[in-house]
Chain A
Amino acid sequence: MNKILRLGVLWASLFVLFQACHVQAQNKIKVGFISAQSGPLNVLGLEQKRGVEIALDHLGGKFGSYPFEIVAADSKGNPSATVQEISRLIDKEKVDVIVGLSASNELVAGVKPISDAKVFFIGMNGGVAVNAGEQCSPYYFNAAFQNAQLTTGMGAFMSKQGVKKLYLIGADFEAGYEHTNAAKTGFKGEIVAQQFTPLTQLDFAADIAKIRASGADGVFAFYPGGLGIAFMRQWAQAGLVGKIPVFSNIALTEPTAFQAQGKSVLGTYVSTVYFAGIDNPTNKQFVQDFKAKFGRDPASYAGLAYDAMMLLDSAVKEVKGNIKDEKAFRAALKKADFQSVRGSFAFSSNNHPIINTYLTMVDERSDGSLYLKPTAIIAEKSPDDFVKKCPMK
């Protein structure tokens, strides 16, 4: 009897405890953060996570006075894992809003199921063309950039640098196609080849030999994360540094890669929408805190992830925590009333940003560490190329 009584009390108290937890959990806003923590592009996701961490430090677990929690998911750089994890976040975890995604192939697969479930999604890295154009969605905001925005102007710049025969090479996925295509725009010489290698391929000996044999006098290479490190190291081992110039956007050579790439990237020109040296108070604070925590400059993935979190913060505050009010929440996101690490920030009608694109060069500090030195502004407060194809107004 005594035993039964005790058991009963135990169950009752557990039940109460469970209820209490449940109520508390319901008060918190649940933010799903999905990024590639493993797989060939995990350098991107790991850096995004660091950016989110700094944002969490700054926000202190609350959007204004509204507490939130992060539910993390690993998209693995592959579309099927992305879709699977998204349905877990939505159906099982019942998150209120999703942020993140690292690679363009994840976006191609992921944006639609999120939008179909009428969950808001804020992209933290380059958006793909269809999602900015024909298939734009009222539930999808990209706080980072549209892929072509990152590479815009590189074609014209390579011509200006005297490149006559250009070899385009990139990883075989959506971003590879979009960036190499964007690099063709404005280029006046001959395109020798446009080649793609599998995302899992890390040995580029055959491809580098092919570039050398092609007689190209300039290369545009799109290899993000670990791929870029492997490519540039092998490029240097082949003795081609200083012989054939390599151009790219920031994906090829970021602060995440500097130490491993070393001198092989010194003097390389890359275009970007974010670099640690952008001069405004928000970015100064962000870079300072990032450096204190991780010991180096933040890469673009971190800066853009930070922006996405701050955008979400501004919108939740604007609707006073009531993010179930779709119309108001959408309007609040669209307003983009937050201090971006990029300075000015606004959304076009397709929910993709109007931003600057910079030309930067990898340079050396007096202590031997590398950094991105801005040399020009390629595009100023410019929308993406696909905004006209988007039916949203």
Chain B
Amino acid sequence: MEQVFNGLQLGMILFLMAVGVTLTFGVMNLINLAHGAILMVGAFFIAFTTSTIPSFGLAVLAALFLVFTLAWLVEVLLVKHLYSKSHLDQVLATFGLSIVLNDGVIMIWGREPLYVNLPSWLEGAVQITPGFSYPLYRLAITGVAILAGLALWLLLTKSRLGMQIRGGAEKREMIGALGVNINFLFTSVFALSAILAALGGIMLGPMISVQSGMGDPLLILSLAVVVIGGVGSLKGALYAAILVGLVDTLGRMLWPVMFGDIVGNIVSNSAIYILMAVVIAIRPSGLFGRRISV
């Protein structure tokens, strides 16, 4: 039971990450390897704002605003020029960007991990059933992630911008031909995906230590999510994120029981990638992906 909660929570954070990856790929045809670094930047910003702003809520807003500004600048100055380039160029440039960001935070905040202190109203555990209590903060994270997911769904299905984004994800050329301001649309999508990643970073901050490179393992997981769900598919990102979250956390419990301690450990650390390999073998374009013609 507790593990299901944990799995959902990991899944929701991965979803926030994966949505950004899949959106930028679907709409702008951009492979963004700096996405993990943006999550990390979000975590650093929350560490910075909580240390200067006494109200936790305001600090979160301030951190989100900082990330938004940074993402906007990065898009206009660098990423914009990558859309027409090959995927290899994009990988190189965004990987370079992630190195710059990772080293940038070292230059500003140093190598020591930072810690974000929770406000007292988020600390402690809640009794859910007798004998089963769950950390309040983790519940809050899941809640916020679900809200963010809902907000995103509303934005994408009910608003004009969302319609354009969905259109862009389906047929990029058409959207351009219809006279939509592509530049503005792309910048918005990039900033939106950065904000979602940073939200993940902000929520992770108080749980784990904030340090340079902390987003990279999550980027790898969220790339796995995107591949499993189908590149460019939002629905796929949601289902795959929850699937990966559950497989990872429940697997940690089950594999050692099934295979013994040693093999179980190995399997639980690689289960997601095995899952990914199986999915690719059966459905090369992912669970919800469009068929890719090669």
Contact = CB atoms under 8 A, between A and B. Distances in A.
B256 A193 contact: yes
A202 B253 contact: no
- Residue with the greatest number of chain A CB neighbours at <10 A, chosen from B3, B7, B135, B214: B135
Contacts of B104: none
Contacts, number: 91
B269 A172 contact: yes
Nearest to A200: B217
Contacts of B233: none
Nearest to B216: A200
A212 interface: yes
B10 A203 contact: yes
B211 interface: yes
B154 interface: no
A210 B213 CA distance: 27
Nearest to B4: A209
B208 A202 contact: yes
Contacts of B115: 229, 233, 259-260
Interface string B254-276: 00100001000100010000000
Interface in B116-163: 123-125, 133-135, 137-138
A206 B111 contact: no
A237 B207 contact: yes
A347 to B, nearest CB: 33
Nearest to B9: A205
A287 to B, nearest CB: 20
A238 B123 CA distance: 9
Closest 3 CB pairs of A and B: A239-B125, A202-B208, A206-B249
A42 B211 CA distance: 10
A173 interface: no
Contact of A239 (B106, B124, B209, B211): B124
B113 A205 contact: no
A229 B113 CA distance: 10
Contact of A43 (B7, B112, B134): B112
Interface in B199-220: 204, 207-209, 211-214, 217
Interface in B239-261: 248-249, 252-253, 256, 261
Interface string A28-50: 00000000011100110010000
A72 to B, nearest CB: 13
Interface string B1-32: 01100110110000000000000000000000
B253 A210 contact: yes
A226 B211 contact: yes
Contacts of B134: 238
A288 interface: no
23 contacts: A38-B212, A38-B213, A194-B261, A195-B256, A196-B265, A198-B269, A202-B207, A203-B208, A205-B6, A205-B9, A205-B138, A206-B10, A207-B252, A209-B6, A210-B252, A213-B253, A226-B113, A229-B113, A230-B208, A237-B138, A238-B134, A239-B124, A259-B115
Contacts of A233: 115, 207
Contacts of A205: 6, 9-10, 135, 138, 249
B261 A195 contact: yes
B120 to A, nearest CB: 13
Contacts of A210: 3, 252-253
Interface residues of A, number: 34
Given A202-B208, A206-B252, A209-B2, A237 B135 contact: yes
Given A195-B265, A230-B208, A237-B123, A37 B111 contact: yes
Contacts of A213: 2, 253
A221 to B, nearest CB: 16
A182 B209 CA distance: 28
A209 B7 CA distance: 11
B133 A239 contact: yes
A46 B124 CA distance: 32
A38 B123 contact: no
Given A193-B261, A195-B261, A196-B265, A209 B137 contact: no
A260 B115 CA distance: 6
Contacts of B248: 206
A217 to B, nearest CB: 15
A200 B2 CA distance: 23
Contacts of B252: 206-207, 210
- Residue with the greatest number of chain A CB neighbours at <10 A, chosen from B10, B208, B213, B256: B208
A234 interface: yes
Given A193-B261, A202-B214, A260 B209 contact: yes
A230 B43 CA distance: 14
A209 B214 CA distance: 23
B212 A202 contact: no
A212 B212 CA distance: 31
Nearest to B122: A237
Contacts of B123: 237
Given A195-B256, A209-B3, A230 B211 contact: no
B111 A38 contact: yes
A203 B113 CA distance: 15
A226 B265 contact: no
B125 A238 contact: yes
Contacts of B111: 37-38, 42, 46
Nearest to A240: B125
Interface string A134-172: 000000000000000000000000000000000000001
Nearest to B118: A237
Contacts of A207: 252
A38 B213 CA distance: 9
Contacts of A43: 112-113
Contacts of A202: 207-209, 214
Given A37-B111, A206-B3, A172 B265 contact: yes
A248 B3 CA distance: 25
Given A206-B6, A260-B209, 18 more contacts: A38-B106, A46-B111, A172-B265, A172-B269, A195-B265, A200-B217, A205-B249, A206-B248, A206-B252, A209-B2, A210-B3, A226-B209, A233-B115, A237-B123, A237-B137, A238-B135, A239-B125, A260-B113
